[in-house]
Amino acid sequence: MVYLFSYGSLQEATIQLKLFDRELRGWPDVVSGFVLSKEKAYGAYPILNETKNPAHRISGTVFELSEQELIQADVYEGEAYKRKLIELESGKRAWLYIAN
């Protein structure tokens, strides 16, 4: 299993059911060093930009995914995002989608 930190639509049960045929198991966490961009992916979805400033914090949810589900999430997120491995405030290492 791998961890994925979500701050957007992947937190929605309807999206999870559509993508993975199940609701994901998750819990709250925080990533620091990122801010929400004023721009939106595809005109509607939030994007994070890295600042490396620890005072910049984003709350979200960490989910457990299989490697195959992570690939499915990559397809869903599309070219507007790239995946980065980060450390959360909990100490867990998780994948995060940021601005491409």
Q: Which of 35-44, 56-65, 66-75, 90-99 has the lowest mean pLDDT?
A: 35-44
Beta bridge partners of 48: 36
Instruction: Give residue-wise pLDDT tens across range 23-42.
Output: 999 999 999 999 998 888 88
pLDDT value for 44? 85
User: Given the structure tokens 């993975």, which residue do they identify?
Assistant: 20
Instruction: Tell me the two tokens of residue 37.
Output: 């961009």
Architecture of the domain made up of 2-99: Roll (3.10)
Domain ranges of the chain: 2-99
Whole-angstrom Cα distance, residue 85 to residue 40? 22
- pTM exceeds 0.85, yes or no: yes
What is the mean pLDDT of the segment spanning 93-97? 97
Helix (H), strand (E), coil (C) string for the chain: CEEEEECCHHHCHHHHHHHHCCCCCEEEEEEECEEECCCCECCCECCEEECCCCCCEEEEEEEEECHHHHHHHHHHHCCCEEEEEEECCCCCEEEEEEEC
